[in-house]
Chains A and B, each alone.
Chain A
Amino acid sequence: MNTITTIVKREYREFWRRGLLRWLLLPVLALLVMATLVGFQRHHRYQAEMAAGTELSRQHWENQGEKNPHSAAHYGIYLFKPLNALSFFDFGVNPYTGSVFFLEAHYRSNAAFAAINDRSTLGRFGIFSPAFLLAFIAPLLIIFFGHASVSGERRRGTLDLVAATGSSPRHWLLGKWLATMSLIPPLVLTVLATAVIAAAIHGPIPSESWWRLAGLALLYAVYLGVFANLSLIASALTKHSGASLMLLVAFWIGSGLALPRLAASTSEQLHPTPNQVQFEKLMSEEKKAGLPGDGDKQARTEKLKEETLASYGVDKLEDLPINFNALAMQADEEYSDRVFDKHYRELFTIHANQDRIHRLFSLLSPTLAVRLSSMALAGTSPEDHRHFSGQAEIYRREFVALLNHNMMVHSKTGDWGYKADGELWHAMPTFKSQPMDPRFQAARFGNHGAILAFWFLISTALLLGWLPRRVFRRSTGSGPIREPHATDPKPAHGEVTTPC
């Protein structure tokens, strides 16, 4: 243990004296502090905007005055997607999906006003968040610290001197590993500490979110641990630190930039997402023409008319005690919902298939694995968006049904002049979103987290299990330095018993 501590201390002394801590680590820590504070501020600004928007939308709804319920159904109402408290850490898909839903009759709402649309072209290169820094910038930091760890010593010749001391190569690598790994806690703890301060300034976040944040810190620590392991492995297997740096940067590009894009294009190629215009056109046509065996809109309305007249025992629509037009609109609405459900189910199947491709690619890319796990844990994943979108749609259907029902029972067929008053608008229940089932979230997080854990365990096993037998091997030689073995003859009393 003393030997390992000695090695860790020497590494740190070198980090400090080479200025690596000052010029590389400190700026990244400062960026993390800034990103966390900015993320918090942004989150709280959005929460305030959301609360104001929700309040304003409700006020407009309740004060729209006397109006025909169907007109009110097109007047619509806005829903604002609440952001998970941890969206300050990982924005996930939120900037791309938008967060405002406009609900009205006949149309299933998709979110609008994506934040990314308000950005300049340069702003689209990346979003400054703690998750972005930890996923993309921190690995580079680890690479810069670790790439010359072994190859640099080999080049300078100090590796031979270390080997000649009789020091155990496993202890030596363990010391190097601990020194490199010790850079990780400051990175993740900086985010946690800044979050505590930011929560004190901007207001508390739910206690459950603190657990999730701790989980995110652990997740990114494991992820950066993978890069620390790979940096040391590459450094030990290459002759020159330049070669190990090139290899590691290539891996960083592959894992962080190339593979995620390849995953996206492969999944799109294998499971293409329908074009939005075509998708909506198809639904619109199917609403009119009807699903197989259902007949077109006119036939369906005619059938409904006959059934309604029969059920009320009258011959003419004018004799009905209800407004048939409202009943037909509601029936059409429900039919549209069936068409929507069918097409969205297909769309979600496509998304699920695409997600499967991403998961497969994450086997090769720790960055992809950490991004998917991170979004799942932060509640900013595509699934979270779909979950909210589904709730918004359920609310829209209830909202339209309530208006149609009011018109149906309070007016007669053909009475398009009927107007409801504020009592109806006030009777409309407010929207309350339900959080996603934590078991589902845990399962998704577990899938990607397991991939990351696999990367970490394999790379650690390689580093500390296999590499010690090779690390002191000379490029001119063919045999490794043999590890001391339990069966080696023991020194006699009074002889040197230390590894040197």
Chain B
Amino acid sequence: MLEAKNLSKNYGHYTALSQLNLSIEAGEVFCLLGANGAGKTTTIHLFLNFIEPSEGEARVNGRSVVDAPHLARAELAYIPERVNVYDQLTGVENLDFFAQLGGQRHGRSELLDYLSQVGLPARAAYQRVATYSKGMRQKVCLAIALAKQARALLLDEPTSGLDPKAANEFIQLLGDLAERGVAILMATHDLFRAREVGHRVGIMKQGHLLETVPTSSISATDLEKLYLQHMHD
């Protein structure tokens, strides 16, 4: 579903991403781990075609994001680190707006159903987003992905700033989405959550994907050791 082939991004002499090769299947959760500046966000932005690659290509469901951005983005949903939907709109209005921008029209009950599926109470759905916590905003974004029927989800540091309960709820929702066949690429610092939800984790450093590990074959402690080892190398 999501595929990177020799994907690179340079800013002058600075290499933000180097020769990334990656393939994420439908229903798979792939977590990118790495320090700040490792190239995680750059990878996500390249898949979104927010920036153009210097080399290589990113493909969504077989389509190049550069050659057919219209169709590639039709398959994607995105949750940035700073989750900001429109403050002055309610949750349901935000969902309706983004769904319509994506060309989807849903009735009010359908919209409420999507919000309910991601755990946003009906009462909150009619409150302005300005009163929401970050977790609630993320739920609105997940509802947008559901309403869009996105086949791939890109998340940038989704659990940063969430309390443990909210983070746990969110990770469970990601698991549910993956079970529905959504391919998920998540950039995170949170090793524990990455191992919990991810099928595979990739460790990045200075624009390079150093190692990819299936989470089923590694304990949380070993993953942390492996991560720190790469960071200290």
Contact = CB atoms under 8 A, between A and B. Distances in A.
B157 to A, nearest CB: 13
A158 B74 contact: no
A498 B50 contact: no
A17 B100 contact: no
Nearest to A7: B101
A166 B105 CA distance: 15
A476 interface: yes
Interface string A1-30: 011001100100110011000000000000
A476 to B, nearest CB: 7
Contacts of B119: none
B82 A165 contact: no
B103 A500 contact: yes
A165 B148 contact: yes
A417 interface: no
Contact of A478 (B51, B67, B73, B88): B51
Contacts of A476: 45, 51
Nearest to A175: B101
A477 B52 contact: yes
Interface string B62-74: 0100111111011
- Chain A interface size band reads 35 or more
A481 B50 contact: yes
A484 B97 contact: no
A273 interface: no
A406 B129 CA distance: 89
B80 interface: yes
Nearest to A6: B100
Contact of B76 (A10, A17, A164, A172): A164
Interface string A487-500: 01101000111111
Contacts of B78: 160-161, 164
Given A479-B52, A499-B70, A499-B74, A157 B102 contact: no
Nearest to A474: B50
A439 interface: no
B69 A484 contact: yes
Contacts of B103: 3, 496-500
B141 interface: yes
Contacts, number: 125
Given A474-B50, A489-B68, A500 B74 contact: yes
Given A17-B88, A488-B68, A499-B74, A167 B50 contact: no
Contact of A165 (B67, B88, B101): B101
B100 A3 contact: yes
Given A157-B84, A165-B73, A496-B74, A474 B89 contact: no
A190 to B, nearest CB: 26
B167 interface: no
B49 A162 contact: no
B71 A488 contact: yes
B63 A489 contact: yes
B50 A477 contact: yes
B98 interface: yes
Contacts of A498: 74, 102-104
B84 A158 contact: yes
Nearest to A488: B68
A472 B67 CA distance: 17
Contacts of A432: none
B52 A167 contact: no
Residue with the greatest number of chain A CB neighbours at <10 A, chosen from B67, B69, B141, B144: B69
B86 A166 contact: no
Given A10-B89, A13-B89, A160 B102 contact: no
Contacts of B50: 160, 163, 472-474, 477, 481
Contacts of B89: 10, 13-14, 17
Contact of B97 (A10, A477, A479): A10
A119 interface: no
A166 B11 contact: no
A165 B83 CA distance: 15
A166 B80 contact: no
Interface in B14-72: 45, 48-52, 63, 66-71
Nearest to B78: A164
A482 to B, nearest CB: 5
A477 B77 CA distance: 20
Residue with the greatest number of chain A CB neighbours at <10 A, chosen from B63, B75, B98: B98
A166 B97 contact: no
B100 A2 contact: yes
B74 A157 contact: no
Contact of B148 (A158, A477, A479, A500): A500
Given A164-B77, A167-B102, A488-B71, A157 B82 contact: yes
A156 interface: yes
Contacts of A496: 71, 74-75, 103, 149
B49 to A, nearest CB: 6
B93 interface: yes
Contact of B71 (A7, A479, A489): A489
Nearest to A172: B101
B102 A499 contact: yes
A491 B78 CA distance: 21
A478 B66 contact: no
B85 interface: yes
Given A3-B100, A6-B97, A500-B101, A164 B73 contact: yes
Report, nearest first, the 3 A-B pairs whose CB atoms are least far apart. Answer: A498-B103, A500-B102, A479-B52
Given A156-B87, A157-B82, 13 more contacts: A6-B101, A13-B89, A165-B73, A165-B102, A166-B74, A473-B50, A477-B45, A479-B51, A480-B52, A489-B67, A496-B71, A498-B74, A498-B103
Interface of A: 2-3, 6-7, 10, 13-14, 17-18, 156-158, 160-167, 172, 472-474, 476-482, 484, 488-489, 491, 495-500
20 contacts: A3-B103, A6-B97, A13-B88, A13-B89, A17-B128, A157-B80, A164-B76, A165-B98, A165-B101, A166-B73, A167-B102, A172-B101, A474-B50, A474-B51, A476-B45, A477-B51, A481-B50, A482-B49, A497-B103, A500-B74
